[in-house]
Structure 1
Amino acid sequence: FALQRHGALIRDNLAWDEYWRWENDDMIVAVYYSKEHKPLGYVVYYIANEIFHIKEMVYLNIEANYGLWNYITAHFSMITQVVGDNYSGEPMAYLLEDSEITENISPYIMARIIDAETFLREYPYQVQPEDFRIHFRVTDEMAPWNGGDFLVSWKGGETRCERVENNQSINVVELDINTLTTMLMGYKRPSYLYEHEKIRTEYYMLTWLERLIPVEKPYFSDYF
């Protein structure tokens, strides 16, 4: 599941121990299995005061997603509400028969790139155009050593990123480290950031940024 969701934590044994450490004794885990008896998803929940509290729902495909929701629906005779957390942008209301739900957006995990050069080099770009180069001009007021001018290119299926002098004038994208993190982690799309003057570049570069950056929302359900 973590490999299918952008930004999710791959839990080791210690992370799983911490996950369960402070939970109440009424917590229940329901697992969805395929016809071949392969686990495809689970929901961690408890019921209190006629409320179905979802701590976490994980599924590997749409079959498991529907199966888990059918399981929750089977409890409707004994509950009045279903409460849980999800990542922003998930069109949950659209998928429900009764779309009249209450949604609240609350800040949770914050991200920050602390090694821009390596991050730009290791990033999973959607396309790798060998005849194209993009120049990121990044500023970082809190960590000036993390900012700079980075030239990103591709060759033989490999992404290259190198620091260059601040004299580039073609395919330049100017932004601060916060905006770079927001864009590459998928929280906001390049066009949105450009519209709100968070990115300074030529308009044609937006097409390239939209092609390069995966259309995925970050998902992080763990806490520390």
Structure 2
Amino acid sequence: MFSYLMPFSYSYYRKFGWEVIQSFKEFNLCPNDLRHGATLREYVYTRGKLKWHELNPVYEKYAQSFTGMLTRERWWWESYYSFYKKGEVVTVSNADGIQGYLVYDIHQESKTMTIHEIIHLNEEARLSMLDFLANHDSVIDRVILRTPVQDEMSFLLRNPAVSQQIKPGFMGRIMDVRSCLSKYPFIKTGKSFDFIMKITDPFLSWNDGIIRVLVNEDGEVYIMDMTDTDKELDLSCDIGAFTAILFGYQNPLFLKETGRIQASDMLLHFFNEAIPRKIPYAVDYF
């Protein structure tokens, strides 16, 4: 139904229907840049080896806020994860249990700390972890970490003028438009909507064509193939653009203004109401 990859070349995979579906911010800063000045409750830091059964519940709660996070099974934590994300694991806890964790390593020659993961269940836990990183100013010169592209971490810092770059992340591709639409979690708007769409997909013939889509008041989807090609289309686009829309990565209005899609104003209004607004993000790669 859906394909997901971290590409060696974005332009290469775009030729075959994959599209960028998420971005992230990469911060490159000094440890002291992470000082924030907020008054926090006391947290306990625990450094140790990877304990997947303790970290996974925290990761899963964090992942619920985003679109595109992987479901991690035990083998993922114990093999792939621990192989690609070597280094120290530090958890931050209060009376309610673990509230976040860091996975990082330090390159001794360059005195650079790379944060592989910074997962937190609330902002206070995040700020506490920033304190932990800032307190390494005697042993490191630089910290590199990633956040979701919409994240405003810099605003929390005493000096928000820090280096940050926006970079593309995973690409995605809808492999079966009908199956994807039939299971898509449209938001229940209390009203039904009916539209006709044409998807262009040169590589997967079962996606290429015109269909009629009915979304009822409860968000349930019904799909019919269209034989009458003279009907006016509400949406016409390639498979990559449609993937970016359903994933919530691109605003359909922006895609229309830039010529990537043709769409009626009524359909744009429906997408604005019915497409979930979770942020596309992932902290894994493969």
Q: Which residue of 2 aligns with 1:21?
A: 83
1:1-224 matches, within 5 Å, as 1-16=62-77, 17-24=79-86, 27-36=87-96, 38-48=97-107, 49-155=110-216, 157-165=218-226, 166-169=229-232, 172-224=234-286
Residue-pair matches, total: 220
Local SS of the residue matching 1:39: strand
Aligned to 2:37: none
Displaced runs of 4 or more, over 4 A: none
Scaled by the length of structure 1, what TM-score is found? 0.86
Distance 1:61 1:152 in 2: 39
Q: Percent identity?
A: 27
**CA separation in 1, counterparts of 2:235 and 2:217?**
24
In structure 2, what is the Cα distance between the partners aligned to 1:164 and 1:206? 22
- 1:164 deviation in Å? 2.5
Cα 1:185–1:156 change in 2 (3 A) is closer
Q: Which amino acid aligns with 1:8?
A: M
Residue 167 of structure 1: how far off its partner (Å)? 4.4
Give the 3-state SS of the residue equivalent to 1:142 in structure 2: coil
Q: Distance in 1 between matches of 2:255 and 2:158?
A: 34
In structure 2, distance between residues paired with 1:23 and 1:159: 40
Q: Return the letter of the residue paired with 1:179.
A: A
Distance in 2 between the 1:198 and 1:142 partners?
18
Cα deviation per residue 1:182-214 (whole Å; 9 max; x = unaligned)?
A: 111122111211111112112343222111222
Matched letter for residue 32 of structure 1: V
Distance of 1:34 and 1:137 partners within structure 2: 53
Alignment-mate amino acid for residue 117 of structure 2: E
Report the more deviating stretch, 46-55 or 191-200: 46-55
Shift of residue 23, structure 1, vs aligned partner: 4.5
The answer to whether the 8 Å contact 2:198/2:210 transfers is: yes
- Pick closer, same or farther for the CA change 1:23–1:93 going to 2, 3 Å: closer
Distance 1:135 1:77, change over 3 A: farther
Q: Higher strand fraction: Structure 1 or Structure 2? A: 2
Deviates more, 1:66-75 or 1:53-62: 66-75
CA–CA separation in structure 2 for the residues paired with 1:158 and 1:22: 39
Q: 1:151, 1:164 within 8 Å by CA — same for their partners in 2?
A: yes
Question: Partner letter of residue 103 of structure 2?
Answer: V
Change (3 A) 1:96 1:152: farther
Using the TM superposition, give the Cα deviation of residue 179 of structure 1 relative to its aligned residue in structure 2, in angstroms: 0.2
Deviation at 1:112, TM superposition (A): 0.5
Q: Structure 1 128/216 Cα, relative in aligned 2: closer, same or farther at 3 Å? A: same
Q: Structure 1: which 5+ runs fail to align?
A: none
SS at 2:71 equivalent = coil
Amino acid at match of 1:35: A
